[in-house]
Structure 1
Amino acid sequence: MGLSARRHARTSSRFLSRTLIANVWRLLGIILLVWGEFGVYFWSLSSCKWPTTAVQSTGKPTHILLLTDTQLEHPYAYREKVSWSDFLHRLTYELYLKRSWRVSMRMKPNTVFFLGDMLASGKDMSSDKEYKQYFEAFRQTFPLEPNVNAYYMPGNNDVGMGVTRPISRHIRKAFFQTFGPFNQQVIIHNHTFVLLDAPGLVDEDYTRAAQRIPYDKWSPLPGGPVEFVKTVYTDDTPLILLSHIPLWRKDADSCGPLREKGSIRKGVGHGYQNTLQKHTSDFLIESLQPSIIFSGDNRDYCEHIHKVVSGRVPEDVAVIPEITVKSFSPSKHILRPGFQLLSLADPDPTARFHQSIAHDLCLLPDQRFIHWRLYAGFAYSTMIVMILFNIRRRRRLSPHALLTPLSHHIPLTRIPSPYPSLVTAPWTSYAPLSPTSPRGSLPGTIRTPNAFSGPTFRSASRPGTPRTAAPLLSPIPYHHEEAEDESLYPPQYANIRPHMLEEETWSPEHLDHLGDSENGSLIMSPYLAPNGPQKRRPWSWTWTFAFRGRRRRMTIHAPSMSWSAFGDLMAFLGDGVSADVKFKQRGIIQSIMIDFLSVAWMFVATWTVMAWWSF
């Protein structure tokens, strides 16, 4: 193998060493984790801003955050005997809720409304103590600032739904002691909010329907939602209705372009109901006459328009929009969760409906994209890179690549010497002259085991000085570049290298012996030059100033990074000979798996630290 080819192979192996490749991919993995665990949340809400109201407000608008279906898992779910996949799913699920909430709180809302289903399995709690522990876990997951007001509404997963459940009353009591009242009327910025107990309304509606009594003749249950609706005081201020279960609509009605797929259809099952009944929806709209309705439970976003005749003339139709808020927690029904921003301005007394209300949708990142595309894609790309790297490494270390016979002859060119009288043997080998030199050897000559060394010179001795004591000069190398191969030096001459002569210095006494006795000329080898080429100094900037009566100077030098230092760094990151030996012993398959795991363990360890820090 030629010198240039070996240098190229050595440089390539440094830049494509196993250590360097593994460290680069570890760094990429850490950057990817920081983006997937934190950066993507801030990026998703970077364009989310509070909406502006249609009416010019004389004061500062009030900002309200609406979210539904947080669906927090039971705090003791991790103590059950579950599989690792289920454990990781629940862990990443809770991490998603915590990080989404922290990013959402950066919006600095004045009030937060939870539209039900705060707990994923609140209806299954067996005691008040367990329900309170569940509630404390919810408060730790969704902490609030002291200046932020929060209101909670019951959902079917919080208190259950169905009058035949024997534990229903016990759960409702626990909800009241932790989250607060079931039905509430709150006034914020001259707007009336009506928080409705939708699961309780469904239960009472089933009781009413079983007796076949219309709402106008129905005697409400004491403390029930129907009684609360009939006692709500309405005036000229806009009214906003909040219900966990959406109001009735036709199955064919569209939900607008912001919905991911499908529409809200009627459906009833064990512990749930997709929409309220038509008679119940008409009762709410006629009794409350809301300006806008916000609901939840469906997980996906939906915008529906309710048209109600507001006067005696059929053409006098009131348009009441209903916004079904997206789920705050990840769900199989949607790709991206979200929440709703609501801004309230001073209402206009001359306007009947929601000119003082503005709302907008904010989307959270897709959890499946982070896990199955971002992280899984990084794992696949890491495996592919390690496979290609080990295949290349195997080819580089194969016996056919190492055997490179010397098939060409290096010609020796005789270069005329400027001092022909001093040349004793132009192409003889040289060695240090000793008293025991064999007869026939020329005095003042040097022998070397290198057959490709250059011409030999002998300097003239000074008068009165024995020729055997004359100092000898190093030959000028006029040979091919591949003659520098260290393999051409026998072991007994391992301590003598041409590059060692470059560092040799000569004293003035030695320089005197190099002069020609006849013409005073001085013969020196380039290797013995006392003064080499001067190195160019790096760029620097100097500033002179006076401080406390004294002259000061400040100098800033540019950072210097030579190619040799960069090469030393690459050599430090190289694998070494022992790594190649281990690679041959392990085989390509085992080496691929070891290289992949060397990157994966750093990825997993970093993710574990980030998860621990988030909790």
Structure 2
Amino acid sequence: MNYSYLPTTSASAYRPARRDTRTPSGVFKTIHDALPSWATQWINTAAQKASGHIERLKNKGELKATLLRTSRWLFTVTNGLILLWIWTLWWGERSVFQESIGSCVWDSWEKWPTEAIPHHVAFIADPQLVDPHTYPGRPWPLSTLTVKLTDQYMRRSFSTIQKNLDPDSVLFLGDLFDGGREWSTAHSQSPEEQWRKYNDDFWKAEFHRFVKIFLGPWNSQETHSTNPRGRRLIGSLPGNHDQGFGSGVQIPVRDRFQNFFGKGNRVDVIGNHTFVSVDTVSLSAMDQPDPKTGSTGGGDGARPNQAIWQEPEDFLNAMKVHRGQAEMDELRFLGTPQKGRLFKYDVLQPSQPAVAREPEPEIVGLPAILLTHVPLFRKPATPCGPLRERYPPSSDGVLEEDEPNALKISGGYQYQNVLTKAISNEVVSKVGPNLIHVYSGDDHDYCEITHREFSGSPKEITVKSISWAMGVRKPGFVLTSLWNPIDPATGKSIDDSAAPGSTLQNHLCLLPDQLSIFIYYGLILALTLVTLLARAVILSLRTTPAPTPDVVLPLTEIRESRTRGRAVSHSSSSSIPNASFIKPGGLASRATNNNNPRYSPPYSYYESGYPGLDYTEETDTSKWKPTNSERRRRGGDTLFGRIRHEFSSSVTKVAKVALVWYIFLIWRW
């Protein structure tokens, strides 16, 4: 049997050189060998060139020079301003919101026992989405820009609230829209002629704006809530801008709002507290004159505005049933056994009732919280406290009356600053026992008072608007922490010694001052322009313009045109191919000295001139005129031209980066 053997070679013959950079080793060698031949050759060539370039830099000392040139290119005034704008826009569009809301984290202000698991609530008041009704005289594009900026501000704020605070429940206190009451429906028209062109379609578009600003971040946020019922977002409480006020409420407009957001009169048990929402803007029609007849509501006989106030009135009259049912349902959810219905199949006598009625549910007695868009009545000049922004207290001490710091007791078209005393008394008395707190909106600024005229002296907080277009420089919202451990069997608080109102804690959280941010942007813009202008002046003064070379050859010649019998000026150029175009004795290009007959012209200049060209003063283009590029070049040779060029180019460079960065920041929100 014969075997064929390959020629043997020592192992060292196949061992690559120690510093061979053309062929990699290990995993890279496997990849290198798997590549096609052209790719392998390209990689080897590139590696050799890179290695050689580095060696040359090291040998010739060019590496230090290259680094020096690179540092001079990087560390310039223009690049410094670009970095300043990147930091400024990041601060104004991101950091300032994170810092404002980050200072309101629950652990920093709520004081509960270690074992407590409180329920966290965020109250949002008066978004009042900017629309044509807000600034009717504002022209485009300023009006569109206002809408975009206010929407972006609220969306960014609410999204940061969800990410940083993650509340268990979010409750809106009315005025979700600004002109919602004005947009016509299929069965009603706006009281004002200028708004009648806005109909249901426009209102639905505004509703989608609201969904995008608030419900989008709410649904996209991954929650860490431990609430067994899950998170809640309730926006059904109407405001006067949503459906009107008092006798100005139109039933179709109110029905439209309730069809999308739910009933304005409702009871919810949240965090072992009973929240009672009352449509007080409709209830206020009870003590207002009928716009048709001029008579007031109440009393016997005809009831003006009854279609408006009847629904909230019926709700208040049946408060015992609504509260009792909601609280019993909550106890049933917590695991308390409840009596079920027992059906008996006995033959009944005609005198006996066919269906046994269950007794009406009793109010368990959970602490009650009233939600109303319009604040309750209070004595004139009742101070709102030190947290009011527009009118701080007149004195460091506590004053009995402080007119500038108080809510004004007044009203106007489709609004009223506070409810009347009669409506306030009716609402508080019918909400039921154990009313410990009231939350309201409408005023756009913060106000905190204690109603000592009511049983239990409930405290009322009027929540700030979340929009920076509502007359406050620093918008805000209120955080409320609820903790009320109860006995699931009875619903009674475990701590019987707890004082009324001790089961909740409030904290005002302020949002950034958007106007101050814009002012800061303006200052940075002014600094940028001044710095770049100074840079342009300094560079232009240091730069010596290149001297303009003297003209050696004449630009024009005077020739006698035989066809016209007058002198005609023609430009002399080296591009003229024949001597026949040059008057004898004049200048000619080098090609004109050639006597080759092949270059002889097919016609004579002296006989007919250029074919098809009539030499007149109107068609004479021989006089030299500078082109636009030449004008710009000549203008750039002056000091002013050099300054303008340097300034415009540097501004363009900074503006491009800043605008792209700003668009990215607002696009991500």
Q: Which residue identity lines up with residue 257 of structure 1 in the other structure?
A: P
- Name the structure 1 match of 2:233: 150
1:15 and 1:267 mapped to 2: Cα distance?
67
1:23 to 2:79 alignment: yes
Matches within 5 A, 1:139-538: 139-143=211-215, 144-145=218-219, 147-152=230-235, 153-164=237-248, 168-207=250-289, 210-211=295-296, 213=298, 223-233=310-320, 234-262=363-391, 263-288=406-431, 290-308=435-453, 310=455, 318-331=456-469, 333-346=471-484, 347=493, 348-351=495-498, 353-372=500-519, 374-397=520-543
Q: Is the 8 A contact 2:120 2:479 kept in 1?
A: yes
Task: Tell me: CA distance 1:334–1:74, structure 2 relative to 1, closer, same or farther (3 Å).
Answer: closer
3-state DSSP of counterpart to 1:319: coil
2:425 and 2:232 mapped to 1: Cα distance?
31
3-state DSSP of counterpart to 1:244: coil
- Name the structure 2 match of 1:527: none
Post-superposition CA distance 1:184-223 (Å, at most 9, x none): 11112221101111211222331599546479xx998675
Task: Tell me: CA distance 1:584–1:356, structure 2 relative to 1, closer, same or farther (3 Å).
Answer: same
Q: Is the 8 A contact 2:133 2:178 kept in 1?
A: no
Q: Is the 8 A contact 2:287 2:297 kept in 1?
A: no
Task: Tell me: CA distance 1:20–1:31, structure 2 relative to 1, closer, same or farther (3 Å).
Answer: same
Q: Is the 8 A contact 2:134 2:179 kept in 1?
A: no
Q: Which residue identity lines up with residue 99 of structure 2 in the other structure?
A: W
1:604 to 2:662 alignment: no
Higher RCO (CA-CA < 8 Å; seq separation 6+)? 1
1:65 to 2:122 alignment: yes
- Name the structure 2 match of 1:86: 143
3-state DSSP of counterpart to 1:341: strand
1:14 and 1:54 mapped to 2: Cα distance?
57
Unaligned runs of 5+ in 1: 1-10, 311-317, 400-577
Deviation at 1:55, TM superposition (A): 6.2
Q: Is the 8 A contact 2:636 2:645 kept in 1?
A: no
1:225 and 1:256 mapped to 2: Cα distance?
31
Q: Which residue identity lines up with residue 20 of structure 1 in the other structure?
A: T
1:45 to 2:101 alignment: yes
Q: Is the 8 A contact 1:41 1:365 kept in 2?
A: yes
Given the alignment, which residue of 166, 169, 173 partners 1:115? 173
Post-superposition CA distance 1:283-320 (Å, at most 9, x none): 2233335201111011111111110264xxxxxxx322
Q: Which residue identity lines up with residue 465 of structure 2 in the other structure?
A: S
- Name the structure 1 match of 2:204: 132
Q: Which residue identity lines up with residue 251 of structure 1 in the other structure?
A: P
Q: Which residue identity lines up with residue 500 of structure 2 in the other structure?
A: F
Q: Is the 8 A contact 1:131 1:174 kept in 2?
A: no
3-state DSSP of counterpart to 1:63: strand
Q: Which deviates more, 384-393 or 361-370?
A: 384-393
Q: Is the 8 A contact 2:288 2:297 kept in 1?
A: no
Q: Is the 8 A contact 1:117 1:158 kept in 2?
A: yes
> Aligned residues, how many?
413
1:294 and 1:162 mapped to 2: Cα distance?
20
Q: Give the CA RMSD over aligned residues.
A: 3.6
Task: Tell me: CA distance 1:163–1:48, structure 2 relative to 1, closer, same or farther (3 Å).
Answer: same
Deviation at 1:95, TM superposition (A): 1.0
Deviation at 1:162, TM superposition (A): 4.2
3-state DSSP of counterpart to 2:126: coil
Deviation at 1:253, TM superposition (A): 1.6
Deviation at 1:151, TM superposition (A): 1.1
Task: Tell me: CA distance 1:115–1:77, structure 2 relative to 1, closer, same or farther (3 Å).
Answer: closer
Q: Is the 8 A contact 1:56 1:345 kept in 2?
A: no
Q: Which residue identity lines up with residue 183 of structure 2 in the other structure?
A: M
Q: Is the 8 A contact 1:60 1:345 kept in 2?
A: yes
Task: Tell me: CA distance 1:605–1:55, structure 2 relative to 1, closer, same or farther (3 Å).
Answer: closer
Deviation at 1:325, TM superposition (A): 0.6
Q: Which deviates more, 155-164 or 181-190?
A: 155-164
3-state DSSP of counterpart to 1:358: strand
3-state DSSP of counterpart to 1:326: coil
Deviation at 1:17, TM superposition (A): 7.8
Deviation at 1:603, TM superposition (A): 1.8
2:390 and 2:438 mapped to 1: Cα distance?
21
Unaligned runs of 5+ in 2: 1-66, 186-199, 221-229, 321-362, 392-405, 485-492, 546-632
Q: Which residue identity lines up with residue 503 of structure 2 in the other structure?
A: S
2:295 and 2:497 mapped to 1: Cα distance?
43
Post-superposition CA distance 1:471-492 (Å, at most 9, x none): xxxxxxxxxxxxxxxxxxxxxx
Task: Tell me: CA distance 1:161–1:582, structure 2 relative to 1, closer, same or farther (3 Å).
Answer: farther
Q: Which residue identity lines up with residue 388 of structure 1 in the other structure?
A: A
Q: Is the 8 A contact 1:119 1:157 kept in 2?
A: yes
Q: Which residue identity lines up with residue 287 of structure 2 in the other structure?
A: D
Task: Tell me: CA distance 1:183–1:389, structure 2 relative to 1, closer, same or farther (3 Å).
Answer: same
1:91 and 1:582 mapped to 2: Cα distance?
45
- TM-score, normalised to structure 2, is 0.56
1:46 and 1:35 mapped to 2: Cα distance?
14
Q: Which residue identity lines up with residue 83 of structure 2 in the other structure?
A: L
Q: Is the 8 A contact 2:176 2:242 kept in 1?
A: yes
- TM-score, normalised to structure 1, is 0.61
3-state DSSP of counterpart to 2:424: helix
